[in-house]
């Protein structure tokens, strides 16, 4: 038969209904839509393997389709398992699990024998849809998943209906099914008790690769982020406008131990430093993207987050007690004027004067010559900044590789570096001159989105600066990179600015920038109201809706009651007798004509035929006869009148009416 698949094993195929040949493209499209976004996350060889499997299935369909022999399928499964084991190791996790799902769903197309096999494949596609949120939870991912769900549901309908059904009715009916499920989905989303973590435990890699700043700083660790346009966090200021850029230092990890190549945090003290707050606090709400670390990146200086368990480390870094594994919304209060740790203990002082032995002799000699002239920390810092400004230093993303004495090479030979080079060299000079100093990393500045008023800070804003300790003043921020004149910024930095910040590219990119602002504002609303629906926000909404005691028991009772009411309403809607609209266009036009006549006081008994009614009303409605003849020709003589002719006849009935 033309629409039947031919199988090698007739007996096995006879046990279940046959699949029509036209069903296979739908199944392939369902697998493609659910697998396609994962191609970006899979290794190149594995992505190519999945694509080849899909192409092979398409060729098989064009040739009439025969189930692939078992020995080929088993060989391909073993090959994929071995490759995935070598790629990800033998520990189960997110990446290896998604890779296996993508491979198995693609290979399932090679062994379809019955409708039951296709149902198994579609259930696998539904499960694969959930895994996309392991990598991205933005609005674009949500829209793609809605489209994929629509496609998979339409395919499920297609394999259980006539193979010749067109695409539009299937997609329409699938959309209706999804819309019918929306009230239940919204009720579950709003009322199901929220938890502060994931509903199930997975290995650490299920939360994604760590992004942004790291636990150490070495040459290139900050500059590699300069081309990264991903958002690190957003901030919305509550009582005032955002401060100027020179005050937007978002404090992250602090490093005070140097081994000649890498800066790390060597302060093991658990006691937070003293903080003297000055002026009024600046209130704002941060929405942190998941970076898998504990630091919270507030404006300098913040002692504690509001609504999140946190503490200040010995280096003045605000830490959360739990890693930021998902998008987190937290309120902050920062003091832009402060004095941090005015009394430095001998142990802390020694930690911030530490330098590796037998490294960077020329740097030590230069600092010693400055110290012979003055011991004032502020004057020594000014000498270092003047040295960066006066000498021929350049700000570049691609400095040459340095040797064992990295600071010497930078200060006296290459004089090419990024912010981490300047911060490391400055701190080394200060320590060699007897001034306690340390490296601070974080983010500088931000980009105000005029659509929603949020300040957006991207990974490209990652920065490194320095702090020196001065008696009676505490730790003072010094940004040595700011000493580099604008004309000594290398072309690679300027080019990267144009890519990561289109406003630097001129008026030609204004439309692109406006579009990006609108999209990011829309995505931010999705983050705030959908992904940011925390237990605290749920309690606030339920309290606003009248649930005075939003305890777990009351929430569950409310959820059960709402679901029960929705179920009864849905059953009533299904059982309520309705008169479906006719699908025949001629009959629809005739019913419109009858409705118009009844509206004008004309009796139209249901047993009266169109021609009989037209002859009876010919005196007052002469145009009705022409319409009745067209209707009868379409209904009983097999003719197909044009829709335009039917509409013209109906309009004539409405216009040409004689007075009684």
Positions marked active-site: 419, 463, 479
At 308, list the tokens: 């999140």
Distance separating alpha carbons of residues 300 and 260, to the nearest angstrom: 28
Q: Tell me the Cα Rg of the chain.
A: 35
Distance separating alpha carbons of residues 271 and 517, to the nearest angstrom: 42
SS3 117: helix
Q: What is the dihedral of CA 65, 69, 72, 77, to 10 degrees?
A: 90
Distance separating alpha carbons of residues 272 and 276, to the nearest angstrom: 13
Distance separating alpha carbons of residues 630 and 318, to the nearest angstrom: 81
At 238, list the tokens: 């509550």
Beta carbons within 8 Å of 529's beta carbon, 6+ residues apart: none
Do 248 and 242 meet the contact criterion of CB atoms below 8 Å apart?
A: yes
Q: What is the dihedral of CA 392, 397, 401, 407, to 10 degrees?
A: 50
Distance separating alpha carbons of residues 569 and 573, to the nearest angstrom: 6
Element (H, E) at 233: strand 231-237
Element (H, E) at 468: strand 462-470
Terminal CA-to-CA distance of the chain, rounded, Å? 64
Do 235 and 283 meet the contact criterion of CB atoms below 8 Å apart?
A: no
Distance separating alpha carbons of residues 490 and 394, to the nearest angstrom: 7
SS3 601: coil
Quickly tell me which residue has 């009148």 as its tokens: 641
């Amino acid at each position: 038969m033309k629409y039947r698949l031919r199988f090698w094993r007739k007996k096995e195929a006879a046990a279940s209904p046959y699949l029509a040949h036209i069903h296979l493209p739908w199944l392939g499209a369902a697998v493609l839509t659910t697998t396609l976004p994962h191609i970006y996350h899979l290794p190149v060889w594995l992505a190519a393997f999945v694509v080849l499997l899909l192409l092979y299935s398409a060729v098989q369909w064009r040739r009439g389709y025969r189930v692939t022999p078992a020995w080929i399928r088993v060989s391909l499964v073993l090959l994929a398992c071995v490759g995935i084991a070598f790629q990800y190791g033998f520990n189960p996790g997110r990446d290896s699990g998604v890779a296996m799902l993508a491979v198995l769903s693609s290979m399932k197309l090679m062994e379809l024998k019955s409708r039951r096999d296709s149902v198994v494949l579609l259930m696998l596609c539904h499960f694969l849809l959930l895994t996309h949120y392991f990598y991205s939870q933005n609005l674009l991912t949500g829209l793609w998943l809605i489209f994929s769900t629509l496609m998979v549901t339409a395919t499920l309908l297609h394999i259980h209906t006539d193979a010749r059904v067109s695409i539009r009715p299937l997609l329409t009916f699938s959309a209706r099914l999804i819309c019918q499920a929306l009230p239940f989905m919204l009720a579950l989303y709003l009322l199901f008790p929220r938890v502060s973590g994931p509903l199930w435990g997975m290995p650490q890699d299920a939360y994604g690769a760590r992004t942004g700043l790291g636990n150490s700083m070495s040459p290139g660790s900050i500059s590699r982020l300069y081309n990264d346009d991903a958002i690190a966090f957003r901030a919305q200021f509550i009582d005032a406008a955002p401060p100027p850029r020179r005050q937007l230092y978002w404090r992250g990890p602090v490093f005070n131990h140097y081994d000649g190549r890498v800066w790390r945090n060597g302060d093991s003290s658990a006691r937070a430093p003293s903080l003297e707050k000055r002026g009024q606090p600046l209130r704002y709400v941060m929405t942190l993207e998941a970076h898998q670390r504990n630091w919270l990146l507030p404006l300098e200086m913040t002692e504690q987050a509001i609504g999140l368990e946190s503490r200040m480390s010995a280096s003045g870094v605000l830490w959360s007690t739990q890693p930021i594994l998902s998008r987190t919304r937290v309120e902050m209060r920062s003091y832009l004027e402060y004095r941090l740790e005015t009394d430095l203990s001998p142990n802390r002082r020694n930690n911030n004067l530490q330098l590796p032995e037998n490294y960077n002799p020329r740097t030590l000699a230069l600092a010693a010559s400055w110290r012979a002239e003055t011991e004032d920390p502020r004057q020594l810092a000014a000498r270092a900044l003047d040295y960066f400004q006066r000498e021929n230093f350049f700000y570049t993303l691609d400095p040459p590789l340095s040797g064992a004495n990295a600071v010497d090479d930078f200060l006296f030979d290459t004089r090419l570096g990024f912010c981490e080079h300047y911060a490391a060299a400055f701190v080394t000079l200060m320590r060699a001159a007897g001034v306690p100093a340390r490296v601070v990393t974080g983010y500088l500045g931000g980009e105000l989105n005029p659509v929603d008023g949020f300040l957006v800070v991207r990974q490209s804003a990652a920065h490194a600066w320095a702090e020196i300790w001065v008696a009676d003043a505490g730790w003072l921020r010094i940004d040595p990179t700011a000493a580099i004149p604008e004309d000594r910024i290398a072309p690679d930095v300027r080019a990267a600015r144009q890519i990561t910040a289109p406003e630097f590219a001129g008026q030609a990119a204004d439309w692109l920038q406006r579009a990006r602002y609108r999209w990011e504002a829309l995505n931010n609303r999705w983050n705030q109201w959908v992904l940011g629906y925390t237990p605290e926000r749920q309690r606030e909404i339920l309290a606003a809706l009248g649930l005075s005691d939003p305890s777990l028991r009351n929430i569950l009772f409310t959820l059960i009651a709402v679901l029960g009411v929705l179920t009864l309403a849905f059953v009533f809607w299904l059982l309520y007798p309705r008169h479906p609209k006719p699908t025949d266009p001629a009959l629809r036009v005739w019913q419109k004509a009858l409705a118009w006549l009844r509206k004008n006081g004309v009796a139209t008994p249901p047993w009266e035929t169109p021609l009989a009614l037209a002859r009876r009303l010919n005196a007052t409605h002469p145009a009705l006869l022409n319409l009745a003849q067209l209707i009868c020709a379409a209904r009983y003589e097999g003719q197909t009148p044009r829709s335009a002719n039917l509409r013209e006849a109906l309009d004539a009935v409405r216009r040409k009416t004689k007075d009684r």
